[in-house]
Amino acid sequence: MSRPLLGLSMMPEADFVSAILPILQNNSVDVLEWSFDTFYDADEPEWLSGLLDFYAENNRLLGHGVYYSLFDARWTDRQDVWLKKLKEELRHRKYNHITEHFGFMNTENFHQGVPLPVPMHSRILQIGKDRLRRLQDVVDIPVGVENLAFSFSINDVKEQGEFLDKLVEDIDGFLILDLHNIYCQSCNFEVDMQEIIKLYPLEKVKEIHLSGGSWQESAYGKKPVRRDTHDDRIPDKIVEILPKVLSQCPNLEYVIIERLGHTLNVESEKQVFFADFNRVKEMIEMSDDLPGDRKVWNKKKGEYSKPVEDLMLYHEQTKLTKLLFDGEGVGSVKNQKFHYFKPENWDEEMIMTAQQIIKKWNPY
């Protein structure tokens, strides 16, 4: 019988480690999660390497990918290079598991931003399964996928739990349930959080993410849009439902709090962060023990074949990203005819938000 381990998403800023030093020193941080691919082409500072190595040597390090992009419709050298670098990373450092985000974010000239959702379609599911299997083939540890905060429509929100369930089944994979991502969907589409959560295969949830975010003013004078920006306290609503969610996830092993490294510069922010951390710690300690006979993972043998590609989907992903980047009004997206995407059903506010995000990350 056991309870999940509480940890932090590690940030590379020196400010961050000095802010979290008190809880590192009193051994409150059971586990660290590290976005390994953000440093594929950079040198880790010595203090960061030392900290990550310490947690790795104690079987307390989790890997979280950002840039693999599970639903890119074309297989390119970029993914091959990403996987080669992952193999190197795993030779160098021991991780308990590896995770990636749902969605796609890399098309030709647009390399940064947030992952954008894809509709649940048998062909798109096939591409996602192929990419996930290729990731699993290069690692001998479990692989999982995190739910997405950003949605274009209520259909995206309602489909995602089932989509993720199907996506990970071939590799016996697991889910990260990011509760702030669900909070964003709940606010933006006016659906109760528990209504969304119950659409997910909670027996496959091995990790929970908790964070805060921000409100973006409405372009139409309606309600503001909730964004997953990791730069504020965890909303009360998330903390309030946490005990119930803990009890609903029988295979849960980790709870990770996320906060951007440059957002803990002032004492008041640090105090809020510690208050959140201690509140969550207390809830985990008060939660019921989880079953002792947790699911045992066994790697399934990969089937080697050519990568699955779909040039029509690739064309549509490229076209959609360019339309969002050009930002010529919502109508320029909604009136387009696509085979896979259905922009006529998308929320205007969310189209505007996607335009702003892509502009912010790709200013040229």
For residue 324, tell me if it sits in a domain: no
The confidence score (pLDDT) of residue 358 equals 83
Q: Mean pLDDT in the chain?
A: 92
The confidence score (pLDDT) of residue 361 equals 63
Eight-state DSSP code of residue 346 = S
Residue-wise pLDDT for 290-304, tens only, equals: 666 677 888 887 766
For residue 153, tell me if it sits in a domain: yes
For residue 357, tell me if it sits in a domain: no
Confidence of residue 109 (pLDDT cuts 50, 70, 90): low
pLDDT more than 70, % of the chain: 94
pLDDT more than 90, % of the chain: 81
For residue 272, tell me if it sits in a domain: yes
pLDDT at 112 over 60: no
For residue 120, tell me if it sits in a domain: yes
Count CB atoms within 10 A of the CB of residue 243.
Answer: 14
Q: Distance between CA 92 and CA 308 in Å, rounded?
A: 30
Residue range 314-330: average pLDDT? 89
Domain count within the chain: 1
pLDDT at 326 over 50: yes
pLDDT at 345 over 90: yes
pLDDT at 147 over 90: yes
For residue 323, tell me if it sits in a domain: no
Residue-wise pLDDT for 183-234, tens only, equals: 999 999 999 999 999 999 999 999 999 999 999 887 766 789 999 999 999 9
Residue range 243-271: average pLDDT? 95
Confidence of residue 41 (pLDDT cuts 50, 70, 90): confident
For residue 139, tell me if it sits in a domain: yes
Read off the CATH number of the domain in which 18 is found: 3.20.20.150
For residue 346, tell me if it sits in a domain: no
pLDDT at 267 over 50: yes
Residue range 18-22: average pLDDT? 95
The confidence score (pLDDT) of residue 80 equals 94
pLDDT at 108 over 60: no
The residue range of the domain holding 247 is: 5-309
The confidence score (pLDDT) of residue 110 equals 46
Least confident of 110-119, 135-144, 260-269, 338-347: 110-119
